[in-house]
């Protein structure tokens, strides 16, 4: 089965350098034959070696969080891709070999969200699915209409519940994908004196919300100092974005 690593870039939150950086991390840490594909509304600055397709259309007008655009990946014709697709957010940090993500058997895998231990919700920073097999996700999104936010907190909650209804929801090994905020950052007041932990068993570090990797690298002050982050220079071992 074909293997694809995909990402999406829209708007101005992340520049092309984030796509290029993700590509370099994948090429360093994935030995399985694959295509690296970016779906975007602006290809300027994206390096050669990265395949580019237009961002899949999804009418998400009226929804405050633009991450709903990820659902467009479940179109019944995703570029010219076939087989499996491993989606990665642009702000993840890959710290070790990720071949294992393609070795897991199943139709859909996602991170078990750290913030909802008693719910089925996944974190969609890293998920895998079979391409061109889940058009019903988009159809159900449109059926819900603009009231979808009354039922689901965000796109990953909707996606998790949809895949659970289909009976195919599975989670990655919890050691593979860790949260920088939950698993690396020291608890107050130790965060003022100690650099965040480098999670030695992790494959991917997920930066959800703030800080993002660049903020963590340079040091970050957030939430009245409770989420203060000392400059996390060990990210240089894995991360290629120019600082």
**pLDDT (tens digit per residue) in 125-173:** 999 999 999 999 999 999 988 788 778 889 999 999 999 999 999 999 9
Ranges for all domains in the chain classified under CATH 3.90.550.10: 3-171
Strand 122-130 and strand 108-112: pairing? Answer: antiparallel
Query: Of residues 193 and 145, which shows the higher confidence score?
Result: 193
Distance from C-alpha of 89 to C-alpha of 9, rounded to nearest angstrom: 9
Q: What percent of the chain has pLDDT above 70?
A: 95
Structure token digits, residue 180: 């920088």
Can you give the pTM of this predicted structure? 0.95
Q: Which neighbouring-strand residues pair with 94?
A: 204
Average pLDDT, the chain: 93
- Looking at residue 66, the DSSP 8-state letter turns out to be G
> Per-residue pLDDT for 212 more than 60?
yes
Termini Cα distance of the chain:
37
- Looking at residue 20, the DSSP 8-state letter turns out to be H
Tell me the CATH number for domain 3-171: 3.90.550.10
Distance from C-alpha of 241 to C-alpha of 243, rounded to nearest angstrom: 6
10 Å CB burial of residue 5 (0-12, 13-18, 19+) is: buried
């Amino acid at each position: 089965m074909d293997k694809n690593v995909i990402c999406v870039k829209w708007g101005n939150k992340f520049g092309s350098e984030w796509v290029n950086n993700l590509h370099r991390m994948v090429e360093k840490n994935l030995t399985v034959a694959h295509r690296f594909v970016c779906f975007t509304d602006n290809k300027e600055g994206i390096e050669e070696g990265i395949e580019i397709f237009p961002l899949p259309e999804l009418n998400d007008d009226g929804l405050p969080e633009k991450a709903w655009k990820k659902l467009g990946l479940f179109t019944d014709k995703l570029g010219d891709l076939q087989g499996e697709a491993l989606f990665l957010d642009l702000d993840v940090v890959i710290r070790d070999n990720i071949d294992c993500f393609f070795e897991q058997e199943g139709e859909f895998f996602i991170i078990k969200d750290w913030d909802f231990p008693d719910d089925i919700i996944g974190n969609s920073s890293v998920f895998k699915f079979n391409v061109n097999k889940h058009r019903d996700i988009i159809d159900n999104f449109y059926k819900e209409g603009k009231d979808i936010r009354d039922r689901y907190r965000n796109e990953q909650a909707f996606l998790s519940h949809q895949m659970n209804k289909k009976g195919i929801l599975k989670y990655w090994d919890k050691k593979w994908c860790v949260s920088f905020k939950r698993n690396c950052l020291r608890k107050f007041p130790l965060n003022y004196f100690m650099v965040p932990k480098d999670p030695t068993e992790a494959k991917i570090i997920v930066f959800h919300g703030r800080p993002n990797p660049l903020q963590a690298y340079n040091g970050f002050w957030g939430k009245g100092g409770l989420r203060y982050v000392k400059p996390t220079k060990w990210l240089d071992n894995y991360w290629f974005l120019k600082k």
